[in-house]
Structure 1
Amino acid sequence: MSTLELRGLGARYGKKPVLHGLDVSVGDGEFFVLLGPSGAGKTTTLKCVAGLVDRADGSVVIGGRDMTGVEPYERNVAMAFESYALYPQKTVADNLASPLRSGRLGTWTEAERAARIEAVTTTLGIDHLRERLPKELSNGQRQRTALGRVLVRPADVYLLDEPLSHLDAKLRATMRAELRRLGEFSRTTTVYVTHDYQEALALGDRIGVLRDGRLVQVGTPAELWDAPHDTFVARSLGQPEMNLLPARADGGVATTAGGLAVGVDTNVSGPVELGVRPRDLTVTAGEARPEGFRVRGRVELAERLGRSVELSVRTEASGGGPGDTLIAVTDDPDVRERTAVTLSTEHSRVHVFAGSDPGAYAHRVGSARPRTDTEGEQR
Structure 2
Amino acid sequence: MNIYNIDDFGGSAVNPPLLAVRDLCKYFPIRSRGLVRRKVGDVKAVDHVSFDLYRNETLGLVGESGCGKSTTVRTILRALDFTGGHAYFDPEGNGRYVDFGELTAHELVPLRRAAQMIFQDPFSSLNPRMTIGGIVAEPLVIHGLARGKALEERVDEILVKVGLKPEYKTRYPHAFSGGQRQRIGIARALVMNPKFVVADEAVSALDVSVQAQVINLLDDLKREMGLSYIFVAHDLGVVRHICDRVAVMYAGRIVELAPTEELFERPLHPYTRLLLGSAPIPDPDRRTLPPNPGEVADAGNLPAGCAFAPRCPYATAVCRKERPELRTMSPLHLASCPFAEQ
CA contact (8 A) 1:120 1:148 kept: yes
How many equivalent residue pairs? Answer: 261
- SS at 2:285 equivalent: strand
1:67 aligned partner, one-letter code: F
The alignment status of 1:144 with 2:120, answered yes or no, reads no
Distance of aligned partners of 1:65 and 1:125 in 2 relative to their CA distance in 1, 3 Å threshold: same
Cα distance between partner residues in 2 of 1:110 and 1:42? 39
Identity of aligned residues (%): 22
**Which letter maps to 1:98?**
E
Superposition pairs for residues 277-316 of structure 1, below 5 Å?
305=282, 309-312=283-286
Structure 1 unaligned blocks of 5 or more: 242-277, 279-304, 313-325, 328-352, 367-379
Q: Does 1:99 align with 2:139?
A: yes
- The one-letter code matched in structure 1 to 2:109 is Y
Maintained 8 Å contact 1:87/1:95: yes
Structure with the larger helix share: 2
Match of 1:125 in 2: 163
What is aligned with 2:77? 50
SS at match of 1:100: helix
Secondary structure of the 2:126 match is coil
Q: Which residue of 2 aligns with 1:185?
A: 224
Q: Cα RMSD (Å) of the superposition?
A: 2.8
Task: Say yes or no: does 1:68 pair with 2:68.
Answer: no
CA distance 1:120–1:363, change in 2 (3 Å): farther
Q: Counterpart of 2:130 in structure 1: which amino acid?
A: K
1:83 maps to 121
The answer to which structure, 1 or 2, has the higher relative contact order (CA under 8 A, 6+ apart) is 2
3-state SS of paired residue (1:219): strand
Give unpaired runs (5+ residues) of structure 2: 1-15, 30-41, 91-96, 289-312, 321-336
Counterpart of 2:18, as a letter, is: T
Matched, 1:35 2:62: yes
Aligned to 1:365: 341
8 Å CA contact 1:92–1:145 kept in 2: the answer is yes
Kindly provide the amino acid, as one letter, of the partner of residue 19 in structure 1.
V
Question: Partner of 1:214 in structure 2?
Answer: 253
- Structure with greater strand percent: 1
Q: Structure 1 59/359 Cα, relative in aligned 2: closer, same or farther at 3 Å?
A: closer
| Structure 1 CA distance for aligned equivalents of residues 21 and 235 of structure 2 | 23
Which runs of structure 2 are paired with 1:224-373 in the superposition (5 Å)?
224-237=263-276, 240=279, 305=282, 309-312=283-286, 354-356=314-316, 363-366=339-342
In the alignment, what sits opposite 1:158? 197
Secondary structure at the aligned position of 1:155 is classed as coil
Deviation per CA, 1:150-191: give whole Å up to 9, x if none.
022222321221111221101101211111111111112221
**Contact 1:5–1:25 (8 Å) recurs in 2:** yes
Check 1:8–1:41 CA distance in 2 against 1; reply closer, same or farther (3 A cut). same
1:194 and 1:181, CA in 2 relative to 1: closer, same or farther beyond 3 A? same
Deviation string, structure 1 residues 46-75 (Cα, Å, up to 9, x no partner): 111111223421111101212233124343
Q: Does 1:7 align with 2:45?
A: no
Per-residue CA deviation, residues 96-147 of structure 1 (Å, 9 max, x unaligned), is: 111122235xx32544434443343234333263321123333333232222
- Inter-partner Cα distance in structure 2 for 1:139 and 1:90: 17
Conserved in 1, the CA contact under 8 Å of 2:18 and 2:89? yes
Q: Does the aligned pair in 2 maintain the 1:91–1:134 contact within 8 Å?
A: yes
**2: CA distance between counterparts of 1:151 and 1:237?**
32
- Select the residue among 203, 206, 212 that pairs with 1:173: 212
Which entry has the higher C-alpha Rg, 1 or 2?
A: 1
Distance in 1 of aligned mates of 2:262 and 2:110: 36
For residue 108 of structure 1, what is the amino acid of its counterpart? A
Checking the alignment, whether the CA contact within 8 Å between 1:354 and 1:365 is kept in structure 2 is: no
